[in-house]
């Protein structure tokens, strides 16, 4: 049975009015982009494109050639987000993750494979405060595999850019989902 997204609205509308937040919540709902994909709610274009790629056999095959495994966490980001904020989300998982963002030039999904901080790696200086995740993607594009550290990590981690997936004409015509 499909869940009704408005089922809680009537139950909580009185509480919202009493708290004086009805207008704020309505404004948030109006400004939030919500896309329904295969029974899930996806809240950003990045998540939509990542879901699309992971939903294709060809996309999963491409990502697995660069270290992705089934069940690996994917952290969604935008190029201007602070690197420290994104790495805080990476830290929550305690293992290697993919960080995804849309290429600002082409709107293609880009992935950065990021290891967990590791004591076996040389400890490097932490990246400058205010550095964006987009800057790390750019550095990884030029450096290949790179060691980096954010200020609240004791140890360094390794990141490498996964080349953008480009479907061949045949793959695009024969694209199978799942």
pLDDT tens readout for residues 73-120? 999 999 999 999 999 999 999 999 999 999 988 888 999 999 999 999
Query: What pLDDT digit, counting tens, does each position of 16-51 carry?
Result: 334 344 443 344 343 344 444 455 554 688 888 888
Q: Which residue shows structure tokens 């009704």?
A: 4
Domain ranges of the chain: 19-172
Distance of alpha carbon 36 from alpha carbon 67, whole angstroms: 28
Q: Strand 74-76 and strand 97-102: pairing? A: parallel
**Amino acid 174: pLDDT:** 52
Q: What is the largest distance, in Å, between two alpha-carbon atoms of the chain?
A: 58
Helices 133-143, 83-93: inter-axial angle, 10-degree rounding = 80
Tokens of 171: 């793959």
């Amino acid at each position: 049975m499909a869940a009704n997204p408005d089922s809680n609205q009537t139950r909580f509308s009185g509480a919202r009015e009493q708290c004086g937040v009805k207008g704020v919540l309505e404004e948030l709902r109006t400004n939030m982009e919500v896309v329904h994909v295969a029974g899930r709610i996806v809240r950003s274009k990045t998540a939509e494109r990542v879901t699309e790629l992971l939903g294709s056999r060809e996309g999963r095959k491409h990502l697995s050639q660069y270290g992705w495994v089934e069940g690996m966490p994917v952290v969604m980001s935008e190029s201007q987000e602070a690197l420290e904020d994104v790495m805080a989300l990476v830290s929550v998982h305690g293992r290697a993750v993919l960080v995804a963002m849309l290429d600002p030039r082409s709107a293609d999904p880009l992935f950065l494979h990021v290891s967990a901080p590791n004591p076996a790696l040389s400890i490097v200086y932490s990246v400058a405060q205010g550095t964006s995740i987009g800057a790390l993607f750019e550095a990884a594009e030029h450096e290949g595999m790179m060691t980096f550290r954010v200020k609240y990590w004791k140890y360094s981690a390794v990141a490498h850019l996964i080349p953008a997936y480009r479907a061949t004409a045949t793959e695009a015509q024969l694209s199978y989902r799942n």
